[in-house]
Structure 1
């Protein structure tokens, strides 16, 4: 397979734990990988053919990222993996309006802007697949997660609607919904042994998710093995959202 025949992907939020692992996994499969983030220094260690500095929480930044891919490759990436995200653990009555706006900007609007830019760039270029990162808290009520649950719930609705709109064009759009995942963003939550033990007990399969486990499902959703799936949100949560743990 020549480089031009290889699948291509744009990964946003690639300097984070899940995005970084996904980039490495797809590059090992000989995919052409473009990664985007706000700081070049944080992208330099990410395995990729193309590193793009852009802020996809704005429509201009999302368009810039897609334009950089087209300039380098001569066409838009066939696939999109949107791993931009943040979290906020606080009851709603103690959440400042500016914090709410930031959560929605990072987790929901960035997905809207990036998907819009990718769809516009892919118009008339054939099939492709996009995968987004939601959260278990959009699927089951978890205390003090109102802001992030609202943002990720909106993202899941976006995935379903866009999947319906663009299925006739052969574009598949799905998401994963991880539980607590061990990444740099969650390191503080798992720092103390007691914190880790309490978190692990919540999951029927025990433990917490690794970035590798979440990235593995995302890679599968982008690949040909899942070519009959669209509009789906797959929970990667050790059973958290569907079964109760057996307490001993």
Structure 2
């Protein structure tokens, strides 16, 4: 049975956010869409017939205001998904202080703001928070220092928040994808050679699709999942935990 209170999706116009919005809309879940780009957001709002708001995820006040707006009709929220993200691929010695702070604030700062808003709006019937980490927080990948630190921080935040708000029936879980085919990651997989190389790193032999991740997020947001909290779900083709099979030589 779909939720009766809205689900807020931050980063709704990204690859995973859009896939999640379409999945939830298909089963009749009320939505509130939030994203930075007003043009892309309006297109998605028109497609799904859902309300929304332009939000700069670096501004915690805007995140909380969007959640308040989303809850204004029913007085509560059933779920919040934070699909906001960025990608910086640099070794530590080439990463500036500003790049690091921007990465941490966008990922950890927005996630903390989501938890804070949920804690204020879900205290009645409870609800579900789903955050997005990365396989890069579980396995060492070269040139991922800043993003891995940010994604690892999200996992720590989620575990603590799950403990803090369990008594309020607020569930906090994390999905940790491998490489997913989205506009954000296009520079990694845009050529056939780079996609093949990336696919080989995943034990299942392919990179992910947005719907792979969105399907799990939808399940976690379902009000029926009342006994799932504090979990970090790797949805990564095995990247985070399985060594890929060595490529066999042609001979």
With the shorter chain as reference, the TM-score category is: over 0.9
Q: Superposed, which structure 2 residues align to 1:58-207 within 5 Å?
A: 58-71=59-72, 73-123=73-123, 125-207=124-206
Contact 2:127 / 2:223 at 8 angstroms: preserved in 1? no
Is the 1:19–1:83 Cα contact (8 Å) retained in structure 2?
yes
Which runs of 5 or more residues in structure 1 are unaligned? none
Matched residues, number:
244
TM superposition score normalised by structure 2: 0.93
Contact 1:24 1:48 in 2 (8 A): no
**Structure 2 counterpart SS, 1:182:** coil
- Distance change >3 Å, CA 76–CA 158, structure 1 → 2: same
Contact 1:182 1:208 in 2 (8 A): yes
3-state SS in 1 of match to 2:136: helix
- Deviations 1:95-126 (CA, angstroms, capped at 9, x unpaired): 11111111111111111112111211223x21
| 1:35 alignment partner, SS class | strand
Question: 1:66: how far off?
Answer: 1.3
Contact 1:27 1:48 in 2 (8 A): no
Gaps spanning 5+ residues in structure 2: where?
A: none
Provide the rounded CA distance (Å) in 2 between the counterparts of 1:79 and 1:197.
36
Maintained 8 Å contact 1:136/1:241? yes
Contact 1:135 1:178 in 2 (8 A): yes
Q: Aligned to 2:9, which of 1, 8, 11? A: 11
Give the alignment's Cα RMSD to 1 decimal: 1.5
Paired residues of 1:199 and 1:208 also in contact (CA < 8 A): yes
Partner of 2:53: 52
Question: Would you say the 8 A contact 2:4–2:78 is kept in 1?
Answer: no
Partner of 1:222: 221
1:48: how far off? Answer: 4.9
